[in-house]
Each structure stands twice: as structure tokens, then as C-alpha cells.
Amino acid sequence: MVNFRLLLAAWALLVVAPVGAPVVAAAPPAPAGLAQCPAPAAGSFVVLGSGQHRGEPTALLMQERWFPDGRIEGVRYSREGRRFSEDRYTGRVRPDAACWALVERQGPTGTMAEQVALDRLGRPRVSLVLAPTEVLSLRYVSQEPGSCSPALLDGLVTSQQQGQSWADGRWQANAVVQREWWQAGEVRGLAVMNYAGNPDRVTYSGRLQLGSDCLGRMTQRDSKGIYYNYRVVVLAKGAGYIYLQTDPDDLTLGLLQHQR
């Protein structure tokens, strides 16, 4: 049986293309959002992430500013295994292909480079550290300029987090869920946790010491008498806070969100 649709399609092709002319497929359109890529946007950001460095767990918490000329200035809190460090750093950001940027930060042990994915406005969103000894991805959170006060956190805050604890001569996974209430820089809450397969729940309380630059320190004590120590970055407009634990045997990077 003759397929008239195929005959009509072939006839249309002969009419459009001269005899003997090659038929060339149209080039595929550029992926949406890649046609025009803005330069990396100036602004202030909180950067956080966790991974592994030379086989040990590692975590970073930074607050930094990107300037219009590509300069970067910031404060960095870092954990490598049981070691905690804190420093101020400088760096550079420059555009890369297809809406990406290359960031280089100076540190005590040299330069840390990372590939950063930008959004449609040129703001950084996520990145991967480019180092053969490190497996570490980072997340960027916009931090609007302005001073911070503990009252920004007043109300209910919740979190879900995972980390590592040093026990029996090795690092073991932990997970914690928290529900807490803030008032004038003081916090009371309940934590449900699992450390190396041992589930538990405790109440806790603590106090935040916060500078006007949104950087601070916090110590908490739970119902079993255990103390926990953190470096803290409070997010703009009281959206919540991010902490990095400094106790040698516990490595936890937590993002705690304010529930309006």
C-alpha cells in the first residue's frame, strides 16, 4: 500500500532543495539561559560546604564580599579532621565560559581554586573546589549588607544536619534534628540525634555572642552536661544562622532556618 504522507514529504523536500544540493540539518539552538552570561556580580555572600581532604572530613564556613573589580575579601572558619582554624583572606573572581566563574582564595597553605556556577544575574550559587587532594562542594547564600543583632533570631528556628564524630579511633557519621526558641540572644531547644547508630534526645540551652558584622560565637549545654562550641554567621534579615562546630571530636556544619 502506498504511504501518501511519505510521498508528500519527499515531494516537499525536492521542491525546497535544488536537485543535487546537500541537505544540511539546522544547528541546534543554544541551551536556554546560556546565550547571554552576565559578569560575576558584586555583593556579600556566606559560603558553606563539607567534604573530605586527604581522607579526613573537612568543612568550610566563610563570609566574604565580592567587589566590582574582581577582588574578594572575607573571613574563613575551617575544619580539617579534629583541627579548627580561623583567618582573614583575600582572593579574585573572574568570568569563565558558559555562565561560570573561577574563584581563587589565598590561605595559609596556598591558593584554593574553585569553579562557581552563576545564576542569571551573575550571582554565585554553587561551586566545586579544584584540588586533587580535596573533594568539596560549596553553597553560596546572599548576605545583604548591614549590621546584625541577636534579636534577628527571636522566635522559632529548626534544622536538619549531618556530620562526623571521632570515636573508637575513627570518624563515624552523626545526624541531628533541632527545634529551638530564641529570645534576646539566648536559645532553648530539643535535639533528636543519632551518633554512630545510637539514637538519643536531649534538651539544651545556650547564648550567642554576636558582632555587628554578623559573625559570632555560641556555646550550648545539653541536659547531660555536655558542652558544644560553635562559630556562627547570622543571615541577613534574620533568615537563620549557620554554624561550624569547633569541638575536636565533633565536626558539624549546620544551617538553621528561622520559621516566620
Q: Which domains does the chain have, with CATH numbers?
A: 43-142 (2.40.128), 150-259 (2.40.128.120)
Distances (CA, A) of 204 to 5, 125, 217, 219: 75, 33, 16, 10
Q: Assess whether pLDDT exceeds 70 at residue 221.
A: yes
What is the pTM for the complete model shown?
0.85
**Among positive and negative, which fits the CA dihedral 144, 176, 251, 217?**
positive
Q: Assess whether pLDDT exceeds 60 at residue 220.
A: yes
**pLDDT digits 0-9 by tens, 174-213:** 999 999 999 999 999 999 999 988 999 999 999 999 998 9
Residue 64's CB is within 10 A of a number of other CB atoms, namely 24
pLDDT of residue 225: 98
**pLDDT digits 0-9 by tens, 92-138:** 999 998 899 999 999 887 899 999 999 999 999 999 999 988 999 99
Residue 23: burial class (beta carbons within 10 Å; 0-12, 13-18, 19+)? exposed
Instruction: Indicate the average pLDDT of the chain.
Output: 88
pLDDT of residue 19: 41
pLDDT of residue 243: 97
Q: Using an 8 Å Cβ cutoff, are 244 and 41 in contact?
A: no
pLDDT bracket for residue 5 (50, 70, 90): very low
pLDDT of residue 2: 43
